[in-house]
Each structure stands twice: as structure tokens, then as C-alpha cells.
Chains A and B, each alone.
Chain A
Amino acid sequence: MSQLVRNAIRFMVFILIQVYVLNEVPPLHQFITPYLYFLFILWLPFNISRFGLLLVAFLFGISLDYFTGRLGLHAAPCVLIAYLRPFLINLLISQEGQELNYAEPSVKSLGWAPYFLYVLIFTFIHHAYLVFIEWMDFGNVIYFLGKVTATTGVSFLLIFITEMMFFRKQKFRTNTA
């Protein structure tokens, strides 16, 4: 499967899962909203241009917004993490040129600890920004802190489960092949 087709399918699957499965989960507590959709952006390939990354992230966020009814609410955090992604990948990658050997960020290409640090940081940034936008509307400090912490925890758990269930086997690419 080509990379374009694979990512196009992921685009749709992530949105449908978020809208029709996770958003339908009855609320356990006002702080807990399960979010998984932004994993799509974290899984995009290394070799995508920064301009393309921003554009794809914006389109992804705005498509989700059309389902949930508030335009821009998810698009803004998506664009933010897409902008920051190349910087963090440069910091986390253990070896110069490692990103040329694998197609996309995963447990295999980055290693366990750096990969989960990568996921944790972006989950936190995403939720902090998302709740901040919501919070501008309603304004309550405890709500802000509680929701950011709780949703980050829940999302991180969901991502961990997803990684376990769909372990992405990745080929080691060399120049000779």
C-alpha cells in the first residue's frame, strides 16, 4: 500500500472513530473526554514537507469540526502540534539520519522511551491548547487544570492501547535497496 493511500484511509478512520465511537461514550465525569484523533498527525511520515504537514493538519482538524459543530475548535490545536512536530522529532531522534531509515514515527523507529515521550508531550500540548480555547469561553481555573490533566491521562492510555493493538511493522530502508 502506498503511503498516500494508507494515510488517506487513516484520515477517514480516525475521524469516524472519534465522532462515532469516542464522542458517543457516555460522560463519566465532566473532565473526561476521550480524544484519540490527533494520533493521525503524530503518525504522518517523516518526509512530508512542513508546509504539507500544516495543511494536512488544518484540513484534518476542520473536518472533525464539521461533525462536532464548532468550526476551528479542533483545527487550531492540530495546526499547533503539526507546527511543533519537526522540532521535537529533531530533538528526540537518537542518531543523525535515523529518519531516513524509517517511514514514520513509531515505537520501532524512535525507540520506546523517546516515542512515548513524543506522544506524551504532544498529547499534553494538544489538550492544553484545546481546553484553553474552550476555557476562554467559560473561565474556570480548576476546570482548566483538571480537564487538561484528566484528558491527557485518558488519551495517553488510549494511544498506548492503540499502539499495542495495531503494532506498525516498519521496514528498515537502506540506500542500496
Chain B
Amino acid sequence: MRNIFLFIRRYFNFLFFLVLQILSITLLVKYSPSHQATYAGIASEVTGNVNTQYNKVQYYFQLKETNRQLSEENARLRNLMGTNFEGPDTARVAIVDSLVKDTVGRMRKFLWLPAKVVSNSVSAQSNFITLHRGDMQGVKKDMAVVGPTGLVGTVVEVSENYALVMSLLHRHSKVSSMLQKGNIAGSVDWDGKDPNFLTLRNIPKSAQVAKGDTVVTSTYSANFPSDIMVGTVHAVMADPSSNFFTIRLKTATNFFSIQYVNVVENVQWGEQRKLETTILKNQ
């Protein structure tokens, strides 16, 4: 027993070093951002506050670009408004069918919540974005994040007033997407090299793909609304060993200058997930 104490005293520094190393590695492995850590909430409140102050300065340098993006989005949305489309009226009796009207919000599937970006990175292998909108303002985990020009990422962590978003520029990010022409679904990930380009995989060689084609989110990815712009085809590489194309995409979002995004909540997602998990239980 005495020898053990002597041993610990003699190698105290080395043992303390080992303890700290093991602690760091465990934190790194265990605390992937998709897990809730006990004190992550408090810490991200603190760093979030610092980030907000910093962003107030940085924001001014990108006002011009932000304004351009927002006004472009406004123009696009105005073009979609019902009042822009009018054909000659062929109906004889006008009947208002009140049943399909969404008055109580029961038919709503997606809810869009605007949020300000207070921190953003593009230079690491795993990039995150911090939003100044959290649990108290209705952001939950796994919600989709969409910018003015296209898809941005997924919420992985929320605290009271801030949310951490795994951007598309993360080695573990994976989004179900499809070619807008022909609705052929594949998946988009990032190879960690250039923040301007993503990779689209699993598009069969039978598909007609040309440079400049639009790629949008597919109808299968439950928490993402479908037909959100992901990027445009930049180059098509045919993998000779498989039956699939590997496609290089130019991102629709400019990750260097994101200032405002929308967090998208799928209000029917709980019901869908509940149904899908019952299959697993029954087997």
C-alpha cells in the first residue's frame, strides 16, 4: 500500500498528464456536437455572447452583399406570388371550398424562422455556424437551415438563446438531394478541400447530367423541405468501377458571407418519425 502511494507521488505529474490527455480525448470522442453535454448550454451562452459582439463589427463589412442577397430573394419570392399568375376565368360558379383552407394550421408542414448568424467558419475540416436564436425562440435539434440563396446546414445543438449549426462544409454532413431535371436522388457530402465545392454521389450513369444543372434537396429527406437549392453541377466524373457518377457541385450558398438564414421546422416530423420507428419495433 505504501509503495502505491510512493509510486503515485513520484509519478504524479505524469499521471496527471495522462488523466488530462484521456479527458481531452474522451471529450472529443463523446462530445460530438450531436450529443447533449451537461454544461454545453452555459458555455455556448458565453461564447455566443462574445460572438455577437464581434459580429456587430464584422456585419458592417458585408452589408452590401447581404442586402443584395436579401433583395434577390425578395424578388424571387415576389415572382412566385399568386397575384402574378392570372389566366382568363373559365369557371362558371365560384365556390369557396373552406375545407382545404389552412385556418388552424393543421395542414402546415414547414415553419420558417429567421435567424441571425453570429459566428461562422469555413477553414476547418468540420465547420459550424452559430445562430442567435435558440431553444426559447423555438429552435430544436435536427432542424434544417436555409440561407437566402440555398441550403446551409442542420441544427445540431441548441442552448437557451443560441443554436449550433453543422454546415454543409462538415466532413460528417450528408444531405439527400436530387437532380432537378428528372428527380434522380443521390446524396451530397463534402470532401474537406474547397469550401466552394460539394460532392454529389450515387447518381446512376443512366441519368442525363450536364454542366450547370441544378441540384435541389430531395423529397425523401424528412427534416429538409424539398426543392431547396443545394448547388449547380460543376463537373461530372464517371467512376469506371461502379455504375454511378461522382459529381462536383458549386455550392448555391456563399459560405464566406452568410448573415441571415432561416431555420426550418417540419411540424409533422414527429408524427412521421413515430410511424417509421414502429416498423423497427415490429420486426
Point out residues on A near B: beta carbons under 8 Å.
20, 23, 25-27, 30, 33, 50-51, 54, 58, 61-62, 66-73, 75-76, 79-80, 83, 133-134, 137-138
Contacts and interface: CB of A to CB of B under 8 A. Distances in A.
Contacts of B124: 23, 33, 68
Nearest to B12: A51
B109 interface: no
Contact of A54 (B17, B27, B47, B195): B17
Main secondary structure of the interface of B (DSSP, over half): helix
Given A54-B13, A69-B126, A83-B13, A26 B256 contact: yes
Interface size range on B against A: 35 or more
Interface stretch (B18-26, B136-144, B199-207, B269-277): B18-26
B54 interface: yes
A71 B28 contact: yes
A133 B14 CA distance: 21
Nearest to A82: B17
Interface string B8-52: 000011101100110111111101010001000001101100110
Contacts of B128: 68-69
Contacts of B20: 54, 58, 75, 79
Contacts of A54: 13, 16-17, 20
B28 A133 contact: yes
Interface of B: 12-14, 16-17, 20-21, 23-29, 31, 33, 37, 43-44, 46-47, 50-51, 54, 119, 121-126, 128, 164, 171, 192-195, 256
A51 B76 CA distance: 61
A87 to B, nearest CB: 11
Nearest to A49: B13
Contact of B24 (A26, A79, A137): A79
A72 B195 contact: no
B28 A66 contact: no
Contact of A76 (B12, B21, B43, B195): B21
Nearest to A135: B125
Contacts of B14: 83
Nearest to A140: B192
A175 B44 CA distance: 48
6 contacts: A27-B195, A58-B24, A66-B44, A72-B24, A73-B28, A76-B28
Contacts of B25: 72, 76, 133
Nearest to B123: A27
A26 B120 CA distance: 12
Interface centre among A30, A71, A75, A80 (most CB of B within 10 A): A71
Q: Which 6 A-B residue pairs are closest in the complex by CB-CB distance?
A: A72-B28, A72-B27, A76-B24, A72-B24, A69-B128, A75-B24
Contacts of B43: 66
Nearest to A147: B125
A83 B123 contact: no
Contacts of B24: 58, 61-62, 72, 75-76, 79
A83 B17 contact: yes
Contacts of A138: 125, 171, 192
Contacts of B119: 67
Nearest to B17: A83
A11 B193 CA distance: 31
